Amino acid sequence: MTIMERQQEDRHLESLLRDVVPASDEEWAAARAGFAARAASEGLVDIAFEDHETPLGRMRINATDTGILRIILPAENAEEVLEDLARKVSGRILGVSTPAITTTRRELDEYFDGRRRTFDVPLDWTLTKAFRREVLHATALIPYGETSSYRKVATAAGRPKAVRAAGSALANNPLPILVPCHRVLRSDGALGQYLGGVAAKTQLLTLEKAI
């Protein structure tokens, strides 16, 4: 059963329960939140997620006990990404907040307000490995307000000739903004690819006054 099918089944079950147990929407929302919190506290959730509104649009922040696992940008299909996370990491996914998610939401707000230049939240690197992870580690060192090139990042990751592979790693960065792949441009100054789209990349660089 996919996550979407599971959600549909949950909504159907809740609909049946509503016919039996009279309660307001607020009471049902509180019951859902209580169930989610209890599941998380009892270690039944491997991946927690929560949506967050930003100037780019609605993002979905996914976290494990280790840290932030995946930032889903507005241009992506959030449900498809959750299905991918279920296959690659765990199917025990639930919409519930965690301290890491709460901190990330606050730091994102500060970043978009121009009051934050670095992020302090712990990261879960499970979705990257080998050279791709080295590329993202190198990208994480690019300072706010500055840019680098795909070639420079590939060189910093130890494989100066693997420019195309570095570009692929950045185009599939599971931790956008927290790992600032938007700061990497083509050698000719062109923006290059971005998981959230060129408009989003331009918006982030303009925010940082690096364009």
Residues noted as catalytic: 181
162 in helix, strand or coil?
Answer: coil
61: tokens are 């922040």
Nearest to 184 by CA among 159, 156, 52: 156
Q: What phi, psi does 63 have (nearest 5°)? A: -140, 150
The percent helix, strand, coil of the chain (3-state, each to 5) is: 45, 15, 40
Choose among 88, 79, 90: nearest CA to 3.
79
Cα gap 49→62, rounded to integer Å:
4
Q: Is 165 helix (H, G, I), strand (E, B) or coil?
A: helix
Distance spanning both ends of the chain, measured CA to CA: 45
In this structure, what token pair is assigned to residue 127? 């979705």
- Measured between alpha carbons, how far is 211 from 95 in angstroms, rounded to an integer? 36
